[in-house]
Chains A and B, each alone.
Chain A
Amino acid sequence: AQKVTQAQTEISVVEKEDVTLDCVYETRDTTYYLFWYKQPPSGELVFLIRRNSFDEQNEISGRYSWNFQKSTSSFNFTITASQVVDSAVYFCALRGYGGSQGNLIFGKGTKLSVKP
């Protein structure tokens, strides 16, 4: 079975703090894809990143960085110098090799509150 666990339900930080959102996944597929989505207060989910299982390179995009470690089945997301606009619910998701194109397995999400 495939599963995504986001153990942190809610996180609250003060602006400019660094924050890491944890994501642990389970799959028996050797080829799979991992994603992060952001859900701002407006409600829509916004695509942030996609990683395939053969690419363990960490990625940095501005203040955002992602740490993919197959050994621990984790795909953690770090926001550096957080800002109020980062306040949102963040979802980690998994798609196995055999999954249809849009059949993503989501975690329950982590609600991040960044206070000024």
Chain B
Amino acid sequence: EAGVTQFPSHSVIEKGQTVTLRCDPISGHDNLYWYRRVMGKEIKFLLHFVKESKQDESGMPNNRFLAERTGGTYSTLKVQPAELEDSGVYFCASSQVGGAIIGELFFGEGSRLTVL
């Protein structure tokens, strides 16, 4: 069974440009989460989808970030326009309904974003 996959693994862009990160959850997992780790800081929750609906987006830093999950399958996280402080590693995780309650999230390898 394929795990959570994220693309790209690393993206280098200039300030002001747009970047779109993609996450493919484990097949059948209704719950999908985005997290971010800025260098030297903690991993921070961004948002949570249940199927195509945003269940909790309290961690989204500002309106330059847009997350979508059309059809309840893969998700995209767009940053537009990117700023220097957006640099970091963006993790995606997924879980089954029961898995989310016990915190067993399956994480991807992360997408490293570098904004110059």
Contact = CB atoms under 8 A, between A and B. Distances in A.
Interface of A: 4, 33, 35, 37, 42-47, 50, 91, 93, 95, 100-109
B60 interface: no
B112 to A, nearest CB: 9
A101 B110 contact: no
B108 A103 contact: no
Given A42-B109, A44-B110, A91-B43, A100 B56 contact: yes
Interface stretch (B13-21, B70-78, B97-105): B97-105
Q: Which 3 A-B pairs have the closest CB atoms?
A: A43-B109, A101-B100, A45-B107
B95 interface: yes
Contacts, number: 72
A58 B76 CA distance: 40
Contacts of B91: 45
A47 B33 CA distance: 15
B94 to A, nearest CB: 9
B69 interface: no
Given A91-B43, A107-B42, A102 B109 contact: no
A100 B105 contact: no
Given A44-B4, A44-B109, A103 B48 contact: yes
Contacts of A103: 45, 48, 56, 58-59
